[in-house]
């Protein structure tokens, strides 16, 4: 919904060059088996600077709409939604619930059983994740994905 830069992910997701909206990626060239989405950390920091602050339903719907875009581009891919391990996922933060709700809403509306929400544990340190903190997230995502692939 908001970014440190002029464009937000739904506006640039399909661009070859972020600065050229007419040059689009051709998704028929290659289809992903798995798409991992890690969004809303920046939103949690910047949302209060928006001219009109979106309410809970608008936050959930904006995430759901982006997931729908991904599903349209990758109709057969497993979609795994998560929210890094920075402060947006700490206890009491509403951002994990927004994602969880958006995923459930999309699953129900689209009758899509190949989309998942995988929560991350708050790293409880300042700044962006370190290499070891990235490994901790990988240690959550990899077994989850392997399990889903093995049980298809």
**Is residue 109 domain-resident?**
yes
**Is residue 128 domain-resident?**
yes
More confident residue, 47 or 120: 120
Cα 113 to Cα 78: distance, rounded to the nearest angstrom: 9
Cα 137 to Cα 110: distance, rounded to the nearest angstrom: 28
Q: In DSSP terms, which residues pair with 78 in a beta bridge? A: 34
Place of tokens 């989309």: 115
Q: Which two tokens stand for residue 135?
A: 């490994």
For residue range 11-28, list pLDDT tens digits in order: 889 999 989 999 999 999
**Is residue 7 domain-resident?**
no
**Is residue 12 domain-resident?**
no
pLDDT of residue 102: 97
For residue range 53-101, list pLDDT tens digits in order: 888 898 899 999 999 999 999 999 999 999 988 888 888 889 899 999 9
CATH label of the domain that carries residue 102:
3.40.50.1110
* pLDDT of residue 148 exceeding 80: yes
* pLDDT of residue 49 exceeding 90: no
**Is residue 50 domain-resident?**
yes
pLDDT of residue 7: 82
pLDDT band at 30; cut points 50, 70, 90: very high
**Is residue 38 domain-resident?**
yes
Place of tokens 């790293």: 123
**pTM value surpassing 0.85:** yes
pLDDT of residue 87: 80
Give yes or no for a contact between 22 and 133, defined as CB atoms under 8 angstroms apart. no
User: What count of other Cβ atoms lies within 10 Å of the Cβ of residue 30?
Assistant: 8
Q: Which two tokens stand for residue 7?
A: 């464009």
């Amino acid at each position: 919904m908001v970014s440190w830069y002029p464009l937000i992910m739904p506006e640039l997701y399909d661009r070859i060059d972020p600065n050229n909206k007419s040059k689009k990626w051709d998704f028929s060239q290659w289809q992903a088996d798995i798409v991992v989405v890690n969004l809303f950390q920046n939103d949690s920091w910047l949302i209060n600077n928006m001219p009109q602050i979106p309410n809970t339903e608008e936050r959930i719907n904006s995430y759901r709409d982006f997931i729908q875009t991904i599903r349209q581009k990758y109709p057969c891919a497993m979609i795994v939604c998560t929210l890094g391990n920075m402060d947006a996922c700490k206890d009491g933060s509403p951002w994990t619930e927004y994602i969880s709700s958006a995923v459930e809403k999309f699953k129900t509306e689209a009758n899509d059983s190949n989309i998942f929400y995988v929560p991350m544990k708050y790293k409880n340190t300042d700044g962006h994740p370190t290499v070891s903190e990235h490994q901790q997230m990988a240690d959550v995502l990899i077994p989850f994905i392997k399990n889903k692939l093995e049980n298809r």
